[in-house]
Structure 1
Amino acid sequence: MKTIITTVGTSLFQNFMKKNKGMERTIKVLSEALLHEWDKKLRDIEMLRKQVKTFANGNPSASAEIESSLQIRKEFGEDIHIMLLASDTVLSRLAAEITAECLAPFMDVQFNEKKDVISGLQAFNYKEFVGQGIPNLVREVDSRIQSYQDVYFNITGGYKGAIPYMTIMAQVFHKPTVYLFEDTKKLIVIPKAPITFDFELFEAYGDELEQLEEGIDNYPSVKNKNFAAFTALEENGLVELLGAGATLSPIGMILYEQYLNQFYSFFCPDNIWKDIQQRPNIKEVLDSEFYLREQRAQRNKSEDTHKTVYKKAGTEERIYYFENDRRLYIYKVFSVNEHDKHEEYIQKYPLTNESKERIISQSKRRQWRKK
């Protein structure tokens, strides 16, 4: 089954007004309302819902989202799963709810107002749009891509400010895009492009990218401390300046998310990095499992003062680690035939606050490719 990620805009209400009079003022008022005003606007919302549902039921051209979804199902000739994503506005959520009801008799359609509304994705505040809306959209879309196979992006409708970024995401994440050409009603399918990326910049400036992802309040001061790194990121279009602050640009966020899909970071001293390279079984664990938080929790084995030790069941491999300020530190590894050494280590080298500080000060960022 093909999964179609579909952003929802307000064409449903624009088309409704072309055929119906009397609700213009209500639609205008609601068009200026963010989602957190939903309860306050509920009376107008329900009045509008009733009339627009009557207009949309049985009307295949009621909106760009409805029309394109029906055409996709027709041309693909198979069942499809529509995943609707709404912006952080009253009208987008209402449009998504009505769209889901209209499409439900014909296909599998998903919309949950608690999970499928993208916080910060709105046209009223650019700083919030860039700092919250686009990052939340990128993460949400990426989570769907990781959870479903045969994913397509439908960019026929949706919030216009997000469409360019949806188009770029489709290419970066290697997913095809569909678009219903308005005049001819022909469905255009843009195939995934054979694009590859050189992530050398991301590997070189992992600390700075991490700071930008979290958002920097006093960017000039932070930049002056590491001028060359931030200048390089700016020159490559990865930094969005927001007054005195800065964050990853929308393009930077999309590329960074794809980078994180392929690589992850941990920190360790040079001698531990050398030990890892000499232990193929440890490298295999780092390749396939260790980067998943739930796997680390599931396979955790507390050993005396060492409370977080990754041990795969039925094997002798152990990875001693801890987390500090969202960073993952590896400070000892043991492979097969090293049981006696690890027992000696536990007794001889307890993990204390002092030893943690020493490990942190000696550690460097390491990039590791996932498999």
Structure 2
Amino acid sequence: MRFAKPRRRQFQDVIINATGGFKAEIAYATALGLVYKVPVYYIHEKFQEIVVLPPSPFGWDSTLIAWNREFFDWIDAEPRPTGGGKGQSIGTGATKLEVLLEDTPDGHTMLSPLGQIYLEAFRGELEQAQSVPIYFGPKARQAWERLEPAQREKYRRVLQNLRLPNRAANSELKSGGGDALGYPKGHVDERVFYAEKDGALYVFALTRHGPEYDRMCREGFSWRDHKPEDFTPWEG
């Protein structure tokens, strides 16, 4: 479905024609339509009528791929020997990965067709999401400048994921009140406190899961303690 992105950029309509496929293939075509928000058409075998499955009003949750991006990039690069460790650690929802993988007769593991669909959809969603502006408050800026390169890369991935449309589902309002949400909840050690305003994301602090994070949860962050000019663009 890589063709869908340039077609949409040219304001052309994109549809999926599932006619002539087996039921399982129609199911995969429907999954494609779901994740890419594209209508699926096929001709019913008995009535010879065109059946239209419109784009689903419900979104899809890319959390599983978002927090296992290194693994998916690794397994997508080439088929990997089955067993003996997959060479990459798998985070939250590891047991759910099975439906996205398949074993080949020659003893390798690779992405299943469904896994390929979801990975390509996630990459497209991630690419589009990077246009969402992020601004750092003073505390977040200071923390960012102190990070070692390896740590900075981990936070960069968290901030990239923060831009995804499902950020609200992976955020939580902390008990300290205020305007900031904690992100993400329960996935990684690296955490951020942020608020969304006028289509932009304002990051109050970068921290790690532990005593400092717990303290920030109790105290909270509020707009009243900041001026608009306190926030500066994060270039990523």
* Higher share in helix: 1
